[in-house]
Amino acid sequence: MLSIIAKLGRSRNLRVWMLAAGAGIMTLGCDKLPLLAPQESTITLSSSTIVLQTNGSTEIRATVLEQAGTPVQNGTTVTFSTTLGALSPFEARTLNGVATVQFLGNGQSGKATIKAISGGAASDGLEISVGAGAAGRVNLTASPTSVPSTGGTSTITAVVADASGNPLASVPVTFSTTAGTFSAQVVNTDSAGRATTSLTTSREASVTATAGGTTSAAVTISISVRPTVSISLASGSTPVEGGITTFSITVNTATGGAPLQSVVVNYGDGSSDDLGSVTGTIAVQHVYRDDGSFTPSVVATDVTGASASASTVIVVQPMLVSINAAKAGLQVTFTANVSPAGAAIASYTWTFGDGTTQTTSGNTTIKTYAAAGTYSVKVTARAATSHTAAGSTTVQVP
């Protein structure tokens, strides 16, 4: 008669003893077989977070319950798997019905689906969003938002965060534009979740940024409308060497244009003035120290760097002085004539040729000589700008 005694159960050591009458004892041994969850058990996965940086980690907990809702026997083996990253270890044993492992990001972005099995029990997938896979929002800014029509560069910054607003580091951000070129089209975010590139364009451009399938709202880089400017000789102003020449300058920003930054007048003689951010029509005065032809110009520049310019040509006349003499015996009336007539003279200094001098504010003076003779008379006209010009004549006094 064959008698078989089997000790079966949820033990990690299973020994089957087979006793046969008259055949002695034969032992078959299978040591350290894993203890697995019984049929109808359930496995539930959980984690303290479902959002990770690309190199982050989190604890994965598998809660294993028997059909009656009680924890499985301590030491029950649970095997874990993931579609992304790594698990350390990939197999764990329960304590009070819970087995834990660590999920480790490996620098890749995406969605990791983690599962666990033990015996005939299997969990549903637990999804962990890693790096770009966790991106819940992408905010995009540009500085400046307007560039000159001749072309310019704007700094584009994308900030990537998860659904809770936490910044995500090491996430690849892909930039796209309808015009222009980027200094870098794909940039990884820094520890603050920022990815920065530069766009150079001479046309209006719409820029977007994408991270992990999440795309930002578009930001527009517009083209500045140039200001308008003109320069002309002011009505009634006569350009005279040493005199005051007045210019009329008109500056306007175009509709929708950027504010002005500077208006610079170059007088064509090596000197210039920065009028600042003036607009409208203004009068500007300048003194030319030499006669000749000059080309004064003006350049208006807005805050984006867009500029406009205008110029004109003027002829600065020399300041000439002549003397008329009207004699009446030993008394002579001298008149200084300054041309052109627009020259503003502050004073006249006379040298009468007899060793005497006189300074007058007017252009006429009377001189009585002590004796008859021939005298060389000179007058120096001093303009209000301190520029001087001289004239002379010879007078015969009876």
Q: Strands 126-130, 51-52: parallel, antiparallel or unpaired by DSSP? A: parallel
Q: What is the CATH number of the domain that holds 181?
A: 2.60.40.10
The four Cα atoms 356, 360, 362, 367 give a dihedral, to 10 degrees, of -20
Is 262 in the same domain as 324?
A: no
- Placement of tokens 């969605």 in the chain: 111
Lowest pLDDT segment from 13-27, 101-115, 370-384: 13-27
Say how far apart CA 134 and CA 52 lie, in whole Å. 7
Higher pLDDT, 230 or 107: 230
Is 29 in the same domain as 46?
A: no
Say how far apart CA 171 and CA 128 lie, in whole Å. 15
Other C-beta atoms within 10 Å of 381: how many? 23
* pLDDT at residue number 3: 33
Say how far apart CA 213 and CA 201 lie, in whole Å. 26
Is 202 in the same domain as 239?
A: no
- With contact defined as beta carbons under 8 Å apart, do 54 and 105 qualify? yes
Is 24 in the same domain as 90?
A: no
* pLDDT at residue number 18: 33
Q: How confident is the model at residue 13 (pLDDT cuts 50, 70, 90)?
A: very low
At which of 133, 162, 193 does a domain end? 133
Give the C-alpha distances (Å, rounded to integers) separating 36 from 11, 211, 288. 9, 42, 104
Is 326 in the same domain as 375?
A: yes
Lowest pLDDT segment from 37-41, 67-71, 108-112: 108-112
Say how far apart CA 312 and CA 247 lie, in whole Å. 10
Q: Which two tokens stand for residue 370?
A: 């002590």
Is 180 in the same domain as 98?
A: no
Q: Strands 77-82, 110-118: parallel, antiparallel or unpaired by DSSP? A: antiparallel
At which of 191, 223, 255 does a domain end? 223
| Residues of the domain holding 21 | 1-33
Mean pLDDT, the chain, integer: 88
112-166 per-position pLDDT tens digit: 999 999 999 999 999 998 877 778 899 999 999 988 877 899 999 999 988 888 8
134 backbone dihedrals φ, ψ, rounded to 5°? -95, -5
* pLDDT at residue number 176: 96
The four Cα atoms 269, 275, 280, 285 give a dihedral, to 10 degrees, of -40
Beta strands in 145-296 (DSSP E): 146-147, 152-161, 172-177, 181-182, 186-188, 194-201, 205-211, 214-215, 219-223, 228-233, 244-252, 260-266, 272-274, 280-287, 292-294
- Placement of tokens 């008379």 in the chain: 377
Is 26 in the same domain as 71?
A: no
The alpha carbon dihedral of 287, 289, 295, 301 has a sign of negative
**Which residues are registered as beta bridge partners of 20?**
2, 24
Domain total in the chain: 5
pLDDT at 361 exceeding the cut of 70? yes
Say how far apart CA 264 and CA 231 lie, in whole Å. 11
Higher pLDDT, 172 or 1: 172
Is 288 in the same domain as 234?
A: yes
* pLDDT at residue number 255: 67
Residue type, 360: T
Q: What is the mean pLDDT of residues 320-337?
A: 96
* pLDDT at residue number 151: 86
Say how far apart CA 82 and CA 124 lie, in whole Å. 12
Say how far apart CA 54 and CA 131 lie, in whole Å. 4
Q: Which of 95, 91, 197 is nearest to 143 (CA)?
A: 197
219-239 per-position pLDDT tens digit: 999 887 888 999 999 998 989
Is 129 in the same domain as 47?
A: yes
Say how far apart CA 354 and CA 201 lie, in whole Å. 77
Is 75 in the same domain as 154?
A: no
Tell me 95's DSSP state. Answer: B
264-299 per-position pLDDT tens digit: 999 999 999 999 999 999 999 999 999 999 999 999
Please tell me whether residue 396 adopts helix, strand or coil conformation.
strand
At which of 300, 316, 332 does a domain end? 316
Residue type, 188: N
Q: Which of 193, 208, 219, 199 is nearest to 155 (CA)?
A: 199
Q: Which two tokens stand for residue 23?
A: 């055949």
Q: Which two tokens stand for residue 358?
A: 């006189």
Is 72 in the same domain as 127?
A: yes
* pLDDT at residue number 19: 31
Other C-beta atoms within 10 Å of 121: how many? 23
Is 153 in the same domain as 190?
A: yes
- With contact defined as beta carbons under 8 Å apart, do 262 and 342 qualify? no
- Placement of tokens 């995500």 in the chain: 168
- With contact defined as beta carbons under 8 Å apart, do 288 and 316 qualify? yes
Q: Which two tokens stand for residue 356?
A: 């005497």
Say how far apart CA 243 and CA 291 lie, in whole Å. 10
* pLDDT at residue number 223: 84
